[in-house]
Amino acid sequence: MYAQMIKSEATLDDPEKLAAFQARIDAGDKIEPKEWMPEGYRKTLIRQIGQHAHSEIVGQLPEGNWITRAPTLERKAILLAKVQDEAGHGLYLYCAAETLGVTRDEMTEMLLDGRMKYSSIFNYPTLTWADMGAVGWLVDGAAIMNQVPLQRTSFGPYSRAMVRICKEESFHQRQGFDIMMKMCKGTEAQKNMAQDALNRMWFPSLMMFGPSDKDSTHSVQSMSWKIKMNTNDELRQKFVDQTAPQAEYLGLKIPDETLAWNEEKGGYDFAEPDWDEFFEVLQGNGPCNVERIEARQKAWDDGAWVREGLMAHAEKRAALKEAAQ
């Protein structure tokens, strides 16, 4: 999901090897870490899987924000489990990226110093409990749209991570929709809160798929390498087609006056998000960019003594064990 604007890296490899590699991909082979691959393929994947992993980890912050304030103990336990899943998803993905020759620490440092990004969506605040519903329903819904086809991606470890993630992801979307249903059947004030969450999350969710195909310059190489399976606009259309009837079911109104079923194309017509806002958020100027990176930096700095201490302990124990033998 969570991979936007991934620049395809140029590749300067031997044309013969490149052609053989492309033939393997076209034949549906999976590429495994120790096999030959073009440098551009490796670099693009590190960037994409890294961004995907960072998104899972940073994505815990807006939801973690509501764990202590969940309305019931059951909701709290569910949200806690969901946020724990996101940590797990981040870890699966970091491991997949590491097989390409980058270390976990290097990736963390690239996130903290801005060389690597995470999805724009997590730079928006979660202001009310209804946002937990909207995030699960829309943000995880959009993530699923993107991740399901990525199960077929050409890089073995990435594909296997996606299979695990997709298995767990539908719980996330359902728990979000369940929150929305509950609120929409509640008091007028609760329903308004749900509507307000949809109003704020709708366009940022559409932005998750990345810029329009006409402005998306990096797609061609990634698609032929099967690192990217669908174009941004294809997935966005699919998402709107799936989500619009769900909003109707909830009795909520999608904040887009132009949204209408188009019989001829067999899909909805809808307004594009404000792309200037999208690029601003990517540049670091969204509502929560600074806060998110500060939180990650703090976790990294505050955790340093734990990382070092446990390693020192392990080394000491290993030395004692060796001495005893």
Partner 1 sequence: MSDLKKEWPLWEVFIRGQHGMSHRHVGSLHASDEEMAILNARDVYTRRNEGVSIWVVEAKHIGASSPDQKGPLYEPSNSKVYRHPTFFDIPDDVGAM
List interacting residues with partner 1 (CB under 8 A): 32, 34-36, 81, 84-85, 88, 91-92, 95, 98, 103-106, 109, 160-161, 164, 168, 304, 307-308, 310-311, 313-314, 317-318
Q: Which residue has the tokens 């110093």?
A: 113
Provide the minimum distance between the beta carbon of 81 and partner 1 in the complex, in angstroms, as a whole number: 8
Provide the minimum distance between the beta carbon of 161 and partner 1 in the complex, in angstroms, as a whole number: 8
Q: Which residues pair with 262 in a beta bridge?
A: 267
Provide the minimum distance between the beta carbon of 296 and partner 1 in the complex, in angstroms, as a whole number: 14
The dihedral built from the CA positions of residue 117, 93, 155 and 169, taken in this order, carries a sign that is negative
Which CB atom, from 91 or from 295, has the smaller least distance to partner 1?
Answer: 91
Provide the minimum distance between the beta carbon of 131 and partner 1 in the complex, in angstroms, as a whole number: 24
Helices 289-302/104-112 angle, 10° precision: 140
Element (H, E) at 260: strand 260-262
Q: Where are the alpha helices (DSSP H) in the chain?
A: 15-26, 39-58, 60-64, 73-98, 104-112, 130-134, 140-150, 156-184, 188-207, 219-224, 232-250, 275-280, 289-302, 304-324
- Other beta carbons less than 10 A from residue 193's beta carbon: 21
Which CB atom, from 99 or from 242, has the smaller least distance to partner 1?
Answer: 99
Which CB atom, from 69 or from 104, has the smaller least distance to partner 1?
Answer: 104
Q: What is the largest CA-CA distance in the chain?
A: 78
Provide the minimum distance between the beta carbon of 284 and partner 1 in the complex, in angstroms, as a whole number: 22
Q: Could you tell me how far CA 322 lies from the centroid of its own chain?
A: 44
Question: Could you tell me the two tokens for 298?
Answer: 């703090």
Which CB atom, from 85 or from 277, has the smaller least distance to partner 1?
Answer: 85
Burial class of 108 by CB neighbour count within 10 A (0 to 12, 13 to 18, 19+): buried
Distance CA 295, CA 91 (A): 18
Provide the minimum distance between the beta carbon of 144 and partner 1 in the complex, in angstroms, as a whole number: 17
Which CB atom, from 304 or from 324, has the smaller least distance to partner 1?
Answer: 304
Provide the minimum distance between the beta carbon of 7 and partner 1 in the complex, in angstroms, as a whole number: 25
Which CB atom, from 29 or from 277, has the smaller least distance to partner 1?
Answer: 29
Distance CA 106, CA 169 (A): 27
Which CB atom, from 279 or from 300, has the smaller least distance to partner 1?
Answer: 300
